[in-house]
Structures are given as structure tokens and as C-alpha cells.
Structure 1
Amino acid sequence: MKRTSTAATRVFVYGTLLSGEPNHRLLRGARRIGSARTQPRFSLYDYGPFPALASRGKHAVEGEVYEVDTFILAALDRLEGHPHFYQRTSIALDGAGRVEAYLFPKARLTGRPTIKSGCWRTHLKEKKSW
């Protein structure tokens, strides 16, 4: 069956959906716009096997932007448990306009370590050297 969807949504990914990471396969068929970073108004947390992005922080977070159709967006929503686990929200990127991103409720991040570099890949490399 051929997918016919013209609606495109730009999504910022910053963890397991990044190219080369375990869940990137869900972005097959999406158009990669490029590397991007948030404005320095967020915090990135280590939530074990994946990161959690929260608003009202002080760091810029690195990631990638993809243009996805409604089918891929629905698959991403399922993966991220939107709206009950993560909440898909419109955010402003640094110099690249507004995109959708999956944010985690800050109240559920108490006690989780902050990733001060704002980069999940850098954090994973640092964890391996511990």
C-alpha cells in the first residue's frame, strides 16, 4: 500500500533517534534538514538508556532536524509515548525557526543527572570512559 501524506512536520531529535542511534530506523523516509541546536533555555537529563529534554533550563542542546510525514510523526509519537510520557511541543531552535520536539515533564526528572554538554553522543562517550 502506498503512503500518501503531504503534511510535513519538522522534528528536532536529540537522543536515540539521532542518525546512527538505535531508534533512527523510525526516521527512514524522512528528509534530514541538518544539525541543529536549541536556544540555551533547556536542560538535557540522563534517563538511563535515553535522554530527556526539559524546558526552563540553561543549556543549548545539540541534535538533528528531520522533516517527517504524518505516518512517521505517528510512529515517533508512539515511541515517545506522547502525550503521556513525553509531550510533543513546539520549540525555537537557535537561528533555525520553530520545530516540534519531545519534552519530558521536569517534575519527573528529580534526582536525574543533567547532561551539561547538551549532547547525548558526547555524554555516551564520557560514560564509556568512566
Structure 2
Amino acid sequence: MKRTSPAATSVFVYGTLLSGEPNHHLLRGARLVGPARTRPCFTLYDYGPFPALASKGQHTVAGEVYEVDAPMLAALDRLEGHPRFYQRSPITLDGGARVEAYLFPKARLAGCPTIESGCWRLHLQERESW
């Protein structure tokens, strides 16, 4: 059984960092824990080229969890503009695991469409067919 490094941070990704998506290369070398879903207390928004996850919603959001080391976490923070653009925060997933996720301030999402499915990949497929 592979042990978790004490310096590893579990991060929930739900958009452009997902496997096969444009920013996934930043997770090269990270350990994939597996697919995951949030508890039904978030909302996923379409922010144009990427999604935005906000707390205090009513949806379950689909994603993946990766274990990252400190340099990789710093690279993710830079990509996500933490803490000025996205804010990395601890969340609890469906099943009880505690992970870090990049949340977007809900006040800056006025007028953005919600992604009712809670799945960025499904939303991209639907958006392509519009």
C-alpha cells in the first residue's frame, strides 16, 4: 500500500485541471486519488473558458482528487490566482474526505450561468452542441 507523504496536499479539481483538460499538465507527477464529488452544497458556474465553484449552493460537483507536493501546490496557486482570484479553501467531499479546492467569490459570479449538472466535462459537450 502506498503511503501518503506528510507534505502531500489533497486537491479537488473540477475544470481545466481535470485529466484531458488544458491545464492538467500542471498535475504531471501528482498521484490521482480518484474521481470524487462534493457534498450538495456548492454551485458550479460557467465563467467562459473555465468553471467557477462557489460555496453555499445546492449542487453536487464532479471532479478528481490529486495528492500534490508543496511546489505543485504553489504552481496551482499561481494558475488559480490564489488568493486574489480564486481562494483555496478546505472543503468536505461526499464521503467525508477533507480536501483543498479553489473557490470563487459568489459576489463576482452575478450573471454567470450555473452548470446544473455539476460536471464541467458534460457542460463542455452540451455547450459544443449549442
Instruction: Check whether TM > 0.5.
Output: yes
Deviation of the 1:86 alpha carbon: 0.1
Distance 2:29 2:76 in 1: 13
Distance 1:15 1:27 in 2: 13
Give the structure 2 partner of residue 124 of structure 1. 124
Give deviations 1:3-26, integer Å, cap 9, x for gaps. xx9510000000000000000000
Give the structure 2 partner of residue 18 of structure 1. 18
Distance 2:96 2:30 in 1: 18
Give deviations 1:27-75, integer Å, cap 9, x for gaps. 0010000000000000000000000000000000000000000010000
What is the root-mean-square deviation of aligned Cα atoms in Å?
Answer: 1.0
Summarize the alignment of residues 1-130 of structure 1 with structure 2, pairs less than 5 Å apart: 7-130=7-130
Runs of at least 5 residues in structure 1 that lack an aligned partner in the other structure: none
Distance 2:25 2:71 in 1: 14
Over the matched positions of the two proteins, sequence identity in percent amounts to: 77
Deviation of the 1:96 alpha carbon: 4.3
Distance 1:47 1:64 in 2: 20
- 4+ runs of 1 displaced by more than 2 Å? none
Number of residue pairs the alignment of both structures matches? 126
Distance 1:97 1:12 in 2: 10
- Aligned AA (1:117): S
Runs of at least 5 residues in structure 2 that lack an aligned partner in the other structure: none
